[in-house]
Structure 1
């Protein structure tokens, strides 16, 4: 069900990113569950016959975490007055320039992937692991096999690298997606999805996207 939630909430992430990551407007979501316990998250009330749960959340933000407060240093202790020293000429020295902070690297590559069912998602690998789709099996007489036999078709998702000039915006949406999955997770998935959100956010903040205008 967690995987289905990640598939069905992709277009909601675009709404959050469009609203602005730093000062976003509140967004209303509806969790809709049908009779087969299939979960859908959408921004409109659920159809009749489905269980509905309404949630209001502020637009997600990928702003850097606040810096730690500076530690106050104790005032220097008063030192004893030293006797006067006769100044002597010394060779002229040139002050060393202050060290320059190393530039931050660009964010890691992201890929836009499409499943065989034409579902799109964003990932960090160019070739995701293959999936095995179950196939119907038949007995020797052509009837459905109910004796426990199984077969599956191995399929591969098709992925393309996102352009570098839009990579910062893609990463911001990628972080926002992870935060939405975490906040809407069922209890047994909350911790794992929270850690995934923090991992993506740290990658974004460590890149040059954090200093881009």
Structure 2
């Protein structure tokens, strides 16, 4: 004999009430009764025992744990700065830190040696600089290419011209001044260097500072 299932309206209402009461700490258990009468008809009901003469199955549904209550956090107060401080920060450019020079060695004046040779170099464009190398590496200066009719817009490929700087050794009596200028040039270049280019300049500045402090360049004037 086929069995019919009848659901009492109280079950849906009880489940909805249970969901609504979930956040409350005092939510109670819900007892579900499955009742089968003599004809085999099944009835599901909550919080009400089965009628006499029915086979009863009971299930207890635990309420879900209460949901945490969200409490919004107050935003942290912004630091208060004066208009003068803000204007100064906006107009003052960031100055990179000066390269650190090593501490001078304690060398007796009689034990100091002259500085290494230093050179003054001239570029083909009449620029001058101080170099520790008597023969700096040549530079390949790009050349403008033109088409067969002399039109620059039709130029194909790339070309460059190797240029060599001419260097001369600074006299021994002026070598210390040359090394000091070399230190200033390195420091000036270091201020505009970016990323990994700063580390080699830092090493070069430290080397020049050591020469100036540990050779006869470090002797007091006179």
The two structures have a TM-score, normalised by structure 1, of: 0.49
The two structures have a TM-score, normalised by structure 2, of: 0.47
Bigger radius of gyration among the two: 2
| Structure with bigger RCO (C-alpha 8 Å, 6+ apart) | 1
